[in-house]
Amino acid sequence: MVTDNLYQEAARAISRSRNALAFTGAGVSVASGIPDFRSPGGLWSRYDPQEVASDWALNNNPLEVWKFLLEAIRMISSADPNPAHESLARMEGMGFLKAVITQNIDNLHQRAGSRNVIEFHGGADTFYCHKCKKEYNQQQALAMTPDDIPWLCSRCYGVVRPGVVFFGEQIPEKALQQTQRLVMQADLILVAGTSGDVAPAGTLPRWVKDRGGIIIEINLGRTAFEGISDIRLDEPAETALPGILEALHPMRHANR
């Protein structure tokens, strides 16, 4: 169990930083009802990602892709931000965080009030034709039924897909450039809900560490950051982040 001393230690480090970032993964959204796709009971326990969420699948298996997407999109759209998202938004609003870099595609950071969010793997709230790039919206996706799939473009009959990075695709250039600029300036990174096993996103905390920055880690169990985290809270994000936020309140005007 995390003690108040660790909340205070994390809060002091954040309050003394000048360019702090948050880096989040699936664990931040579990309390919102979105299980980690890789966890037992997650979507990857019932679907093969190469068959339903890869560039190959979009071109060769669009029906199976959309069977998966119908379930995933409805699960994501029914979720609401939890105290982890809300705490990060408050930290940004108080001037403690410069940005949130997230691997999540659920848009919950933005809905919680975070303004500067870099979606490293894209977002499931936008859609476009894989062939001609015609844009569609989430409400149109939510109106789809099993009889309507695969969703084909009204202009060219290409497959419509969400604006997320599928397996085998490159990270969007804009997200890469924004992330690189933020990480090169960062003196602290608050890692929450990610094991660091997915490349290249998982390397971001090491970039900050290699430049002399501090890593604060909020995770349950073993991660790729063992041995390099300066402060580690072995606790769910929806518990630890509100604890750090509360400890930050008296420090709001100190060292800013």
Is 130 designated active site? Answer: no
Closest CA to 52 of 167, 172, 199, 170: 167
Question: Is residue 179 within 8 Å of 206, Cβ to Cβ?
Answer: no
SS3 86: helix
Catalytic residue chosen out of the listed positions 109, 121, 130, 253: 121
User: Cα–Cα distance between 112 and 90 in angstroms, integer?
Assistant: 9
Residue 202, both tokens: 């998982």
User: Cα–Cα distance between 107 and 124 in angstroms, integer?
Assistant: 7
Residue 84, both tokens: 């982890």
Question: Is residue 51 within 8 Å of 64, Cβ to Cβ?
Answer: yes
Catalogue the long-range contacts made by 34-37 (C-beta closer than 8 Å, 24 or more residues apart): 34/75, 34/76, 34/79, 34/106
User: Cα–Cα distance between 80 and 64 in angstroms, integer?
Assistant: 27
Question: Is residue 226 within 8 Å of 72, Cβ to Cβ?
Answer: no
Q: What is the DSSP letter of 126?
A: E
Residue 101 carries which side chain, given as an amino acid letter?
I
Just list the catalytic residues: 121
